[in-house]
Structure 1
Amino acid sequence: MRRDIHPHSRPVVFRDRAANASFLIRSTAHSTRTTEWEDGHVYPLVDVEISSAGHPVYTGTSRVVDTAGRVERFERRYGRAAAARH
């Protein structure tokens, strides 16, 4: 087997800013930013847009889309006749 062909894995803190949650896991992700973890050690910090802490599939929350309001707004703007022609 060839040596040194795989990226170096190390502990990295991933922070979900929307859910205000952080995770310390092993990763090959690189970052110039660092943070101090609960154990007192300093680790690289990677900010993510969404994680299991804030994703609706994992949290059990769902977003309600206001389709009735959209239809009413369309009918007010363009009238019912315009909607019937299409």
Structure 2
Amino acid sequence: MKKDLHPSNYRFVVFKDMSNEYSFLTKSCVETKESVTWEDGNEYPLYKLEISHTSHPFYTGKMKLVDTAGRIDKFKTRYAKK
């Protein structure tokens, strides 16, 4: 194998899905600024996710509609007349 092929900061990291508070522990070399105490009592770096397999519509089978700018209401009022 080639020397220095793998990153040197490969370690355990906690990934947390912020939409449903699901967390899992895996190895990664992602850069983090926060840390959290895991179930085993050890402290690990924390990386926050917007979506994971527990909240993605493809895996859950449920569609979640997020309308932050009110686009749907604007569409409905515009085309309600027609």
Instruction: Number of aligned residue pairs: give it.
Output: 74
RMSD: 2.3
- Structure 1's consecutive aligned runs of 4 or more residues displaced over 4 angstroms after TM superposition are none
Write the distance in 2 (CA, Å) between the matches of 1:74 and 1:26: 50
| Structure 2 residues without counterparts, runs of 5 or longer | 66-71
TM-superposed deviation, 1:17: 0.9
Q: Deviations over 1:6-32 (max 9, x none)?
A: 213111000001011001011111112
TM-superposed deviation, 1:2: 4.0
TM-score w.r.t. length of structure 2: 0.74
Point out the more displaced range, 3-12 or 42-51. Answer: 3-12
| Structure 1 residues without counterparts, runs of 5 or longer | 81-86
TM-superposed deviation, 1:63: 4.2
Query: 2:13 matched to which residue of 1?
Result: 12
Identity of aligned residues (%): 38
In our comparison, the structure showing a higher alpha carbon Rg is 1
More helix by share: 1
SS at match of 1:13: strand
Query: 2:3 matched to which residue of 1?
Result: 3
